[in-house]
Structure 1
Amino acid sequence: MASWIQELQIPPHLNIPITIDNVTTITPAGPIPAGFGDCLYLSNLDDVIGARVFTPTVYFYASNSFSSDQKPVGKILCDALSGVLVPYYPFSGRLREAQNGKLEVYFGSKQGALIVEAHSEMALSDLGDLTVPNPAWAPLVHRAPDEEPYQVLDMPLVIAQVTTFSCGGFSLGLRICHCLCDGLGAMQFMAAWAATARTGTVVTSPVPCWNREYFRPRNPPMVEFPHIEFMSIDDGSTLTSTIWKAKPVQKCYKVSGEFQAQLKRSAQPLDGGTCTTFDAMAAHVWRSWVKALQVTPCDYKLRLTFSVNARQKLSDPPLKEGFYGNVVCLACVTSTVSQLIEGRLKETTRSVREARLEISEEYVRSTVDYIEVNRPRRLEFGGKLTITQWTRFSMYESADFGWGRPIYAGPIDITPTPQLCVLLPDCDFLLPRTLDLPIGIGEERL
């Protein structure tokens, strides 16, 4: 069984010096249906506190993926982005606060996306293993020198950095504001940008749809569920204090398909219902995490939260094809410490499955209304582990700009907080798909 779970080593002490050569503001290549002073509505799912971030990702391309007779990489990316910003024009705006601190997209004097062109004297081979997310890649993803953490107001909503290396390879570091799109929406935007770069003409399939008014709150709002995923809870256990005192380090594990299949079989609930691989993995990770941290007291109630794509839940009316906004809800499971570490995996898996299935159209509408009434202002970590799943994102397929699929596509830092676990697709798309399990819990293994 040990071979079923492989720890992937993050190269230590890596320093990537870069030189910025050019900074370009990219505006739409043609007319857009928004003029100076116009604004666009953002839904409460777009404007929830957890979406007020930029999601940084990086894409590496080998030197043999680029032909010498092509235009420079930066020129190709700039031209294609300018073209795709016509149908995806909201990405050329800025965020500002409207009434009650709610955000909206505004079109004013500052407009456009940002592309930074840079180079490094290093070769891609000097970066070590390019299959493991590495916080040392941070210089490849642009941040303004005076940029504050979690700043989204008055910022370009797409920030890209293309860095060429001495070997001829290059990277694309990308930050897209989460308020504009969820993971699937970001993949739709990326696919359009990449297809436009490959073909030299604007390609949008499906046609992008804004329509954030679909998620307007009801009048009056009707909060029909307790929404414990948002509740502020004083952590009366040792969990949070242990994590923050332990100076946790980022760890990444490759979990084989054989292990996943075996775990899924052993985790099937006894009630006759079936569980998914995610249900079993989430239950196993949560249980193992709590055991490793030796959380006390045993009667303290912990939370597990994870995002659920609600697109297929919506039917009255259904979402239009091409909608790229946030359509995710947080599912939440609760369990006492003793139930987790002494109970059967089957029971924890059943609880995860039930929380996932509880995300219905009614739950989505209730979430929108809850945010309207309460408008949470901070992320809550008390007694909580959050698992986020990227395995269904077409990270590699969507990033072919004409140079083939990237060597690696994904985040650089998989533990922005030590209470987060990220499930990633395998970077080697030629092999049977597995999951990478990065867990910020120090040296403990699953």
Structure 2
Amino acid sequence: MASFMEDIKFPHLSIPVTIKHKQVVLPAGPIPVNNNDTLYLSNLDDTVGCRVFTPTVYFYHSTPSMSKHVVEKLRDALALVLVPYYPFSGRIRGTNNGKLEIFFGPNQGVLMVEGYSSIALTDLGDLSIPNPSWSPLIYRFPDEEPYKVIDMPLLIAQVTYFRDGGFSLGLRMCHCLCDGIGAMQFFNAWATTARVGTLVASPNPCWDREYFLPRDPPLIKYPHFEFMSVVDESNLTSSLWEVKPVQKCYKVSREFQEQVKSMAQETSKDSKYTAFDAMAAHVWRSWVKALNVKPSDFELRLTFTVNTRHMLKDPPLKDGFYGNAVCVACATSKVEELINHPLPWTTDLVHRARVGVNEDYLRSTLDYVEVRRPKTLEFGGKLTITQWTRFLLYESADFGWGRPVYAGPIDLTPTPQVCVFLPEGGINADGMLVCLCLPPTACKRFEELFCLIENRA
């Protein structure tokens, strides 16, 4: 395999964790709501794809700067941050029309869990890539239903101490409250407050979900293939769900990304493609070819989110807005077109889907959700790429004991039609990790195709 792309294998582990203590963390001061008050969630917050908890984990080695008990430091800082970020201390409930809202009652708060493991942090081996074996480090309630967000704490934090003094912070944050950029804003405020010892929340957080109210009457101006229910007459979904897929992670150098981008741009003079356009196209083509998707005339979809904050002008969105402000873009192609056309053709599909998201498209999305209110996640013929490389995962996670050794998700296999682009974790690293799921029989074929950067099918 070429040196600019490396298949990173993670160890299969059994991590014993004993939960010692659970506590509710409440805001440290007055908040501007009373019991029985509610807050509006926008239709971007309330899509079916946001009705989930996003699990992440952060690993830290023991350092001399850990003079105060880790849980106490995290708890005290979190209580301070929950004053300006008070919606996190509420709960979600349903309304008569199927929408969700935040409501407030007595002693709700967020949950902090303290656990201990009899093994050392060093026993976990490679901490550079997601590992499904880390799931005991993220707290779940006994017999918790999948995808439950109603009446749940909206932030659940688990600190796990290892035998050698290292520890992990496992988080579950409700996606209804924030997108990735908003989560980083909250997380940075929490970490900075812990580091300096007093509340630091800059920019000043604002709720402002009414900014995304649907129009009256709603006006759906686009087909919104990203939400469409498709009868999957191909072998794509069945090949991924019938056999337990393998989670694969590839370390991709900056040089490799630039090479893919340059190859994609080679025949285009009118459009300037980004590295994401090219890498997303390259992954999509390689994935579909490796899976040998049939029939050839089946319509495939590639979806990904586009940050719309900078597009919103009338009026502009406030800097401190931390809610969901991303829109789902969707590129479509028949199987035969995707596998027979060269990389620049597919890159142009991705590019046009990305630049097609504007304020008008966003307003149409809000109206579509208002009218149709999709109830289930649609997987038919779809690959979703999630770009975490734009988030300052490592830079935002210094609570006073330095950058984490690893910051990010743990497991992709529950939704095997998702590919994640993660930042590489080293201090001077400038590459990224491409993590996705494949049937065992398709892994070698994908690697061969992914390494083959050629301007032809």
Q: Does TM, scored on the shorter chain, surpass 0.5? A: yes
Q: Alignment partner of 2:226: what SS?
A: coil
Deviation at 1:271, TM superposition (A): 4.4
Aligned counterparts of 2:372 and 2:415: Cα–Cα separation in 1: 24
The match for 2:206 among 206, 209, 213 is: 209
Matches within 5 A, 1:65-144: 66-67=64-65, 70-144=67-141
Unaligned runs of 5+ residues in structure 2 are 451-457
Amino acid at match of 2:60: Y
| TM-score, L = length of structure 2 | 0.95
The match for 1:182 among 161, 173, 179 is: 179
Aligned counterparts of 2:242 and 2:29: Cα–Cα separation in 1: 53
Measured against aligned partners, the alpha-carbon deviations of 1:375-418 in whole angstroms (never above 9, x if no partner) come to 00000000111111000101011110001110000000133311
Aligned counterparts of 1:225 and 1:27: Cα–Cα separation in 2: 43
8 Å CA contact retained: 1:396, 1:409: yes
Measured against aligned partners, the alpha-carbon deviations of 1:361-387 in whole angstroms (never above 9, x if no partner) come to 000100000000000000000011111
Unaligned runs of 5+ residues in structure 1 are none
Amino acid at match of 1:420: V
Is structure 2 residue 25 aligned with structure 1 residue 26?
A: yes
Q: Alignment partner of 2:144: what SS?
A: coil
The match for 1:262 among 259, 263, 268 is: 259
Aligned counterparts of 2:131 and 2:77: Cα–Cα separation in 1: 28
Aligned counterparts of 2:279 and 2:245: Cα–Cα separation in 1: 21
Is structure 2 residue 287 aligned with structure 1 residue 289?
A: yes
Deviation at 1:110, TM superposition (A): 5.0
8 Å CA contact retained: 2:120, 2:162: yes
Name the structure 1 match of 2:369. Answer: 371
Deviation at 1:199, TM superposition (A): 1.0
| TM-score, L = length of structure 1 | 0.98
Deviation at 1:245, TM superposition (A): 2.7
Aligned counterparts of 1:56 and 1:393: Cα–Cα separation in 2: 15
Amino acid at match of 2:9: Q
Name the structure 2 match of 1:59. Answer: 58
Measured against aligned partners, the alpha-carbon deviations of 1:237-296 in whole angstroms (never above 9, x if no partner) come to 121122223321101000111111111000015242110000000000000011001111
Deviation at 1:300, TM superposition (A): 1.2
Name the structure 2 match of 1:199. Answer: 196
Measured against aligned partners, the alpha-carbon deviations of 1:168-206 in whole angstroms (never above 9, x if no partner) come to 111000011000000000000000001110111110010
Measured against aligned partners, the alpha-carbon deviations of 1:89-120 in whole angstroms (never above 9, x if no partner) come to 00000000013110000001351000001111
Aligned counterparts of 1:314 and 1:99: Cα–Cα separation in 2: 30
Name the structure 1 match of 2:424. Answer: 426
Q: Provide the alpha-carbon RMSD of the alignment.
A: 1.0
Q: Alignment partner of 1:251: what SS?
A: strand
Amino acid at match of 1:302: L
Amino acid at match of 1:56: P
Q: Alignment partner of 2:3: what SS?
A: helix
The match for 2:148 among 147, 151, 155 is: 151
Deviation at 1:298, TM superposition (A): 1.0
Aligned counterparts of 1:20 and 1:115: Cα–Cα separation in 2: 11
Name the structure 1 match of 2:378. Answer: 380
Q: More deviation in 110-119 or 183-192?
A: 110-119
Aligned counterparts of 2:427 and 2:374: Cα–Cα separation in 1: 39
Report the CA distance shift for 1:414/1:241 in structure 2 as closer, same or farther (over 3 A): closer
8 Å CA contact retained: 1:415, 1:421: no
The match for 1:401 among 381, 390, 399 is: 399
Measured against aligned partners, the alpha-carbon deviations of 1:213-236 in whole angstroms (never above 9, x if no partner) come to 000001000111110100000011
Aligned counterparts of 2:389 and 2:253: Cα–Cα separation in 1: 14
8 Å CA contact retained: 2:65, 2:400: no
8 Å CA contact retained: 1:248, 1:440: yes
8 Å CA contact retained: 2:50, 2:175: yes
Amino acid at match of 1:182: D
8 Å CA contact retained: 1:94, 1:110: no
Amino acid at match of 1:4: F
Deviation at 1:146, TM superposition (A): 2.2
Amino acid at match of 1:156: P
Q: Alignment partner of 1:398: what SS?
A: coil
8 Å CA contact retained: 2:245, 2:413: no
Aligned counterparts of 1:22 and 1:239: Cα–Cα separation in 2: 44
Deviation at 1:63, TM superposition (A): 1.1
Is structure 2 residue 335 aligned with structure 1 residue 337?
A: yes
Deviation at 1:348, TM superposition (A): 0.5
Measured against aligned partners, the alpha-carbon deviations of 1:27-66 in whole angstroms (never above 9, x if no partner) come to 00000000000000000000000000000000000112x4
Q: Alignment partner of 2:10: what SS?
A: coil
Q: More deviation in 414-423 or 95-104?
A: 414-423
Aligned counterparts of 1:314 and 1:157: Cα–Cα separation in 2: 28
Q: Alignment partner of 1:174: what SS?
A: strand
Q: How many residues align?
A: 442
Name the structure 1 match of 2:8. Answer: 8
Aligned counterparts of 2:239 and 2:319: Cα–Cα separation in 1: 46
Aligned counterparts of 1:404 and 1:76: Cα–Cα separation in 2: 14
Amino acid at match of 1:9: K
Amino acid at match of 2:102: V
Aligned counterparts of 2:243 and 2:140: Cα–Cα separation in 1: 29
Aligned counterparts of 1:125 and 1:348: Cα–Cα separation in 2: 43
Aligned counterparts of 1:98 and 1:297: Cα–Cα separation in 2: 42
Matches within 5 A, 1:318-357: 318-357=316-355
Aligned counterparts of 2:33 and 2:19: Cα–Cα separation in 1: 32
